[in-house]
Amino acid sequence: MLRFHCEREALVTMLVHHRARSNSVVALDAERRVTAFLERPDEEGRRGVESTWVNSGICICDKLVLDAIPSGQPCDLPGFIFPKLIPSGRVFGFGLTSYRCAIDSPQRLEEAKSALAEGRCRIPLARGADVAVLGCLSMDNPTADQ
């Protein structure tokens, strides 16, 4: 994902996954450029945007994006920053097509732990790395486009 981001000189690369009728919609062109992004759209807002790609909540941002965040006030990147950047043509989606688990409850944390223990999810780590597992991602091909 980082290589993908750098090769495209992206401002933002969002990790996206397929899920129909989620709380976000991400439309991508053939180069995986984001052409539309809706965060928590109502039915009217969804009209005309046909995509099953959704925001996974993980992204890589260029320093220019971080500099655009207003200081001293809360800021929701998907809600306020990303939509303003789409016209630049430098916002991309990196597709996740394998296992994912949103860890948003004790039950989901147990699901992620089981997935790791059963080998349904791989997290490649550097030797001697000290990590806490907060999320769980596994790419179909761990050597491609990471």
Kindly write down the DSSP assignment for every residue of 69-91, as one continuous string: SPTTS---IIIIIHHHHGGGT-E
In the chain, the number of structural domains is: 2
> What pLDDT, on a 0 to 100 scale, did the predictor assign at position 124?
61
CATH number of the CATH domain containing 63? 3.90.550.10
pLDDT of 102 > 90? The answer is no
Residues 90 and 104 in one domain: no
Residues 84 and 105 in one domain: no
Could you read off the pLDDT of 24-41 as tens digits, one per residue?
889 999 999 999 888 777
Could you read off the pLDDT of 56-101 as tens digits, one per residue?
888 999 999 988 888 898 888 888 899 899 999 999 999 987 777 7
pLDDT of 140 > 90? The answer is no
> What pLDDT, on a 0 to 100 scale, did the predictor assign at position 133?
35
Residues 30 and 48 in one domain: yes
Residues 91 and 110 in one domain: no
> What pLDDT, on a 0 to 100 scale, did the predictor assign at position 67?
86
Mean pLDDT of 129-144: 35
The number of C-alpha atoms within 13 Å of 55 and in the hemisphere containing its C-beta is 24
Lowest-confidence pick of 10-19, 88-97, 102-111, 131-140: 131-140
Domain hosting 137: range is 98-146
Q: Give the Cα separation of 15 and 60 in Å (integer).
A: 8
pLDDT of 42 > 70? The answer is yes
> Given 3-state DSSP classes, what are the helix, strand and coil percentages for the chain, each rounded to the nearest 5?
25, 25, 50
pLDDT of 112 > 60? The answer is yes
Residues 79 and 111 in one domain: no
> What pLDDT, on a 0 to 100 scale, did the predictor assign at position 145?
38
* 136/44: higher pLDDT: 44
Residues 87 and 144 in one domain: no
Residues 21 and 59 in one domain: yes
Residues 41 and 83 in one domain: yes
Give residues with Cβ within 8 angstroms of 138, minimum separation 6.
98, 99, 120, 121, 122, 123
Around Cβ 96, how many Cβ atoms within 10 Å? Answer: 19
Residue 23: band (very low, low, confident or very high) from pLDDT cuts 50, 70, 90:
confident
Residues 109 and 74 in one domain: no
